[in-house]
Chains A and B, each alone.
Chain A
Amino acid sequence: MILVYLIISIAGIFALGWLFRWTGQKINWPKDEWNIYFRDMSYLVGVGFIFAVALILFTLYVYFILQIKFFVWGVQLLVICGLSGYIFRFLGRRIGTEGSRKLFRSMPVTAAFGILTVILYALLAIFADFIAPYEQDEIFEVINALPGGNPDLGGDPRFLLGTDQLGRDLLSRLIYGAQNTVGIAFATTVFSFLIGITGGFLAATLGGWVDQVLSRAVDALMAIPQLIFALLLMTIATAWAGSNKVMIMVYMVLIIAVLDSTRVYRLSRAVGLNIVVMDFIEAAKVRGETLRYLLFREILPNATAPLLAEFGLRFCFVFLTISALSFLGIGIQPPLADWGTMVRDLAQFINFAAFSPLTATLPLLAAGAIALLTVAVNFIVDWVLHKSSGLKS
């Protein structure tokens, strides 16, 4: 049934698109450019116009007439995100030094939004202790209080987002999640870069058998899909750690850092190979500099630009891997608050969407917190990559 509606509406849009172009060509517009525009319009552009109009009408219909809660919230959220990015860029263009204003002038709204979000997350993570109303593992006598804080609907005014099955405040846990999840992911990425960059630059400078051994080892590690290999190694790590939950997390950080450093290794080796052949490296070698000086004082400063963009991407990847592991129940361990674990624990509430929309947003809130950060970082990286490559073409 749904399929039939879908096919009919798509066919209708295509027919209307044709009609739109046809009438546009028949009418004699007052302005000559319009006549030319319609004459040269391809069929698909006409369909695109109609499709856009249909999309806007559909959005307005659901927003104002049907008023589906989640749809309304989603649209509002999108508008707020877009506006905040726009305002942030506007402010950035006015306030600040000459350099920063220049930077903001060439920035798309998406990148501005990304930077704003990353700053907010960083603030949330650093000042979680001051922002969160309660401790992350503080247990109250109110169990499973519903969000909203209205006592008539099963809420509690003390807990804005309600409490979980053990009676812990969900808002505090969400805020502390920023500290734990983002912090652990960040530490893992830094660690992965330390390993990857050192290995990659070593292979590039020394060459020979060091390069061969490292490269073949990395090839072998990369032949197994990352999440799968991480899961296999976590099986072993949990056996090693036993009931020591801190050790499980330490092993997880180590495992993901090592697995992820293979990608960093590949990049830094490729970048390093281009730098090693330069004359200043030759000069430094002749000067008799140590290997450490060569790697971190000569090569690293010249490789920061591509490595920084890669850092953003790798951070997203590590963050998603850790969240996925936590979601599967073998990542960050309780009592630490973590978004992946929260999604898993709260997932069942999504079935209450029809009666209690606020409750159903709880798992989406935790999952959305993960998504928002990775999307934001990706927006920034996309802009940086576009900026560094777009100038050439």
Chain B
Amino acid sequence: MFEISDEGVAAALASGASYADARVVIRREQAVSGRNGAIEGLRESESAGVGVRALVGSSWGFFATEDLTAVGARMAGRQAAAIALASSTVPGQALELAAVPAVVDTYETPHMEDPFEVSLTEKADLAIDLTAAMMSGADVTKAVATFMFWDTEKWFVSSQGSRIHQHIVESGGGMSAVAVKGGESQVRSYPQSYGQFETGGYEVVRDLAFAEHTGQLADEAAALLRADQCPAGEVDLILDGSQLSLQIHESVGHAIELDRILGWEAAFAGTSFLPLEQLGSFRYGSSLMNITADATIPGALGTYGYDDEGTPAQNVTIVDQGVWKGVLSGRDSAAIAGVEPGGMVRGDGYARMPMVRMTNVGLLPGDSSFDEIVADTKDGIYMATNRSWSIDDQRLNFQFGTEIGWEIKNGKLGRMLRNPTYTGITPTFWGSLDRLAGPDEWVHWGTPNCGKGQPMQTGHTGHSASPGRFRNVRVGVTG
């Protein structure tokens, strides 16, 4: 397929581009879902095409087609250059892409069991059995289980000499039990809301041992209907690892995207509260806050060999002992901001222009444990498994809801709480982090549904986290 990418690049250059790259992408996706003991949906999709990116002056153009012939690729190259030319009538500042070495290489996700070789019957039976088991619980009105698998091959060529073939395999799934009574619904999910996803094969699904958790989900969903409402007030808040991973995603991951900081997402996703001139000195959180963006973690969902500009995956320090040190960047944004390109630009399939995306933006573990943190908490609430999330366009004011909570009194978990919510301001919240569980409870959580950009792109990101405690957090927000 490299020859198709070559045609696109050559046509863009011949049409006036000073730089061009092209990606042939073939992506298979399989989704199997069960509901209430029956199969709900079984869908396979395959998208295949070539996308060409062209730079004219300081202006980009991008065009994509499913026509994987030399004729189609050349048309895409010419169109990309023509669009870039139109862009240049409303130009930005002069741009010279940050330098990266030309690379000729291949990369493949390490995996044991090709998920597309596992029979549909096995996957469907699992979804049926899990949802049937959850439906047997009292008060459970709905049970769902979904498994998804992606197999992506890319052939990247740049006009600066890179030629990279990658094969990325991703797998995972999740399940939920919903109970409805008295005008209220409650839900419990495993391993987290919307499931857990990793780079890897079907072994990811097997290792999650779904069948061992159906009873707990059904019981807790029903119990939540009778649980006390989460009280309002300020308490010490302990978050489980999966909720903390989403907290990282929303209040750190998006905030450190350099395109947002530069204002490129201002009209849609928003900007960032982070002042670029304070990179290296801004106090983001407490000294326990150590964040990295590491695209090399084996098995994590945001792991790959090279980004979609041909820059190698790398581990970048983002927050060091509470001080903001790094950003997520690509070749153009890095050049403008005067930082090193981080290899964090990816596109959603062949038809989307690559943009800055999170890799594995995670919080390094502490030296405590969940049990120790609870024992050390006199008056607090433990919240687990995300249910809702909302944050403002600068990533400052957030409000999260979780599926379940427990009161903590004098170092012990007490009564179950329903409808737990908490709210805060990002640097204040992270500044209140004072206990963090250690490596034994550190999980590489995966988020397969990160939306960004226009046209909308869905990204796959990873967020490593262990349970942590935050002091004096406002909880129990209701309308």
- The answer to whether A and B assemble together is no
A residues in contact (CB < 8 Å) with B: none
Taking beta carbons and an 8 Å cutoff, which residues of B are in contact with A? Answer: none
